[in-house]
Amino acid sequence: MRRRTLAIALPALAALAAACRACGPGRRPAPGPVTARGAARESYAGPEPGPPVANLQPGLAAFGHALLAAVAEPGANTVLSPLGIAYAYGMARAGADPATGAELDEVFGFPPEGPHAAFGTLARVVAGTGEVPPAPERDAPQDPEPPVVRLAGGLFAAGDLTVREGFLRVLTARYGTGAHRVDFAADAAEVINAWAGERTAGRITKVVDRLDPGTRLVLASALYLRAGWAVPFTDPPEPGAAFTRADGTAVRTDLMRLEAELPYASGPGWQAVELAYAGGGLAMWVLLPAPGGAPADRLAPGELTRVRDGMRPTRIRLALPRWDFSTALELGPALEGLGLRGRGYSGIADGLVLDRAVHGADVTVDEWGTEAAAVTGLAFRLSAPPPAEVEVRADRPFAFAVLHRPTMVPLFTGQVADPAATG
């Protein structure tokens, strides 16, 4: 799967980025983290996926739709990771001031018992916490490998910052991380970038370009997905097909083709088809509105429920473009518009405030499957300024969602507005 480079230039963070190249040699590994005394990561022993995840899922679905609707331009490709963003803010929730915590609960839909137990479960049941295995060769048809999903959190703190014991205990027990001690005037960016590269199979290797020496702490989440289709697109593609963009103009692109029995649903003004990944636990829904419809509207929680309830096995002739693009987003303004205005996190350390928050995600979809990655970074300072039956032909803007089917948790959502545009 092809990779590209994406960078976000932010003056005060100063820069959080998603850069899709293999890690270069000589990267310094992060030092061993400092954890709370006597704390260990808690194992989840209940039924899969467990009640905490069920309580978290509605909020994540609503948040993912609200954020995409707020930031996606009609003519622009967009990919976000609701889970990746919420995971980073879930870690921050463990140290939020009361007013900020209430806003976090409202914006992300965190359940009354808090998000930490559910995120601890998700990291093990949905994602897994081991190393990312090497990618297989894709030069010829082959049996798809089991999906690889990895979700990780990281805490990087200045050496002289006293991080509260209770906050460290939550991060150790639920998120599997302690505090990596770094020097924000020297090697912090290098350490954080190496951490991201190791956890995203080299797909995201630059989280920070440089950091303001006044930064005292960074929280980061990394989410990586690699999954092959249960039924790959082995039919010859349709070359040079017209894809009609939202403004009515057309672009030529190849359409992958597949004819098979697939879960399918439809309603007034929309069609939806499910493409399962090998193993059955993950699937992509392709959500195609009628011409002129807004792709993001198809991702509203109520609409997703209608799709789920309406899915029936149907013989489908599917034509779908490949896509390969990135999104770089400064989260602060978007989340402020959704109601998150508080910046106080004194439960992490005395006087700590959130300075900047950035999200970068990318996705590659081809005949064999999907590879995607996302990194969210939160930088903190001390108190300071802040014969087919139907045909689904995706030749116009459409939405997509990568879901964990048993829990309906959205790992990645987005819209394809122009499959010929990359970067």
Residue-wise pLDDT for 252-276, tens only, equals: 999 999 999 999 999 999 999 999 9
pLDDT tens digits for range 309-367 = 999 999 999 999 999 999 989 999 999 999 999 999 999 999 999 998 989 899 999 99
Cα–Cα distance between 315 and 126 in angstroms, integer? 29
For helices 51-71 and 98-108, the axis angle rounded to 10 degrees is 80
Fold of 14-37+47-228+325-382: Antithrombin; Chain I, domain 2 (3.30.497)
Q: Output the pTM of the full model.
A: 0.85
Distance CA 317, CA 135 (A): 29
CB 72 within 8 A of CB 78: yes
Check whether 395 has a pLDDT greater than 60: yes
The yes-or-no answer to whether 14-37+47-228+325-382 and 235-321+389-416 have a common fold is: no
Distance (Å, whole) CA 382 – CA 215: 8
Domain spans in the chain, listed from the N-terminal domain onward = 14-37+47-228+325-382, 235-321+389-416
pLDDT confidence tier of residue 34, bands split at 50, 70 and 90: low
Residue 207 predicted with pLDDT over 80: no
Q: The tokens of 300 are what?
A: 């509203």
pLDDT at 372: 95
Q: Are strands 148-158 and 179-182 parallel, antiparallel or unpaired?
A: parallel
First to last CA, the chain: 14
Query: Residue 387: what pLDDT?
Result: 81
Residue 47: is its pLDDT beyond 80? no
Q: Which of 358, 353, 361, 355 is nearest to 331 (CA)?
A: 358
* C-alpha–C-alpha distance, residues 154 and 287, integer Å: 34
How many angstroms from the chain centroid is the CA of residue 257?
27
Q: What SS3 class is residue 143?
A: coil
The CA–CA distances, whole Å, from 269 to 121, 181, 272, 287 equal 37, 53, 11, 11
- Shortest CA distance to 97 belongs to which of 348, 331, 339? 348
Residues 227-232 have a mean pLDDT of 93
User: How far is residue 164's CA from residue 155's CA, in Å, rounded to a whole number?
Assistant: 13
CA proximity to 268, closest of 296, 308, 298 = 298
What's the CA angle centered on 35, arms 34 and 38, to 5 degrees?
Answer: 140
- Classified as helix, coil or strand, 163 is coil
Mean pLDDT score, 195-199: 87
pLDDT of the residue at 42: 59
Q: What is the DSSP string of 272-328?
A: EEEEEBTTSSEEEEEEEEPTT--GGGGGSHHHHHHHHHH-EEEEEEEEEE-EEEEEE
Tell me: pLDDT of 194 over 70.
yes
Identify which of 323, 384, 315 has the alpha carbon closest to the alpha carbon of residue 355: 384
The CATH fold assigned to 235-321+389-416 is Alpha-1-antitrypsin; domain 1 (2.30.39)
- Please, what is the Cα angle at 340 between 209 and 347, to 5 degrees? 75
Going by their DSSP bridges, the two strands 390-393 and 312-321 should be labelled as: parallel
Look at residue 18 in the predicted model and tell me its pLDDT: 33
Give the per-residue pLDDT at 69. 95
Could you tell me the pLDDT band of residue 48, with boundaries at 50, 70 and 90?
Answer: low
Contact 394, 288 (CB under 8 A): yes
146 pLDDT band, cuts 50/70/90, is: confident
Confidence of residue 3 (pLDDT cuts 50, 70, 90): very low
Q: Tell me 125's DSSP state.
A: I
Query: Is residue 24 over pLDDT 70?
Result: no
Q: Percentage of the chain with pLDDT > 70?
A: 85
pLDDT at 17: 32
- Determine if residue 404 is left, alpha or beta; phi over 0 gives left, psi from -120 to 50 gives alpha, anything else beta: beta
Mention every residue, 6+ apart, whose C-beta is less than 8 A from residue 193.
27, 205, 206, 207, 208
Backbone angles phi, psi at 78, to 5 degrees: -145, 135
pLDDT digits (tens, 9 = 90+) for 66-87: 999 999 998 899 999 999 999 9
pLDDT, position 59:
94
pLDDT value of position 217: 96
The whole-number average pLDDT for the span 244-250 is 94
Task: Using CA atoms of 324, 325, 326, 327 in order, give the dihedral in degrees to the nearest 10.
Answer: -130
Q: Is the peptide bond before 14 cis (omega within 30 degrees of 0)?
A: yes
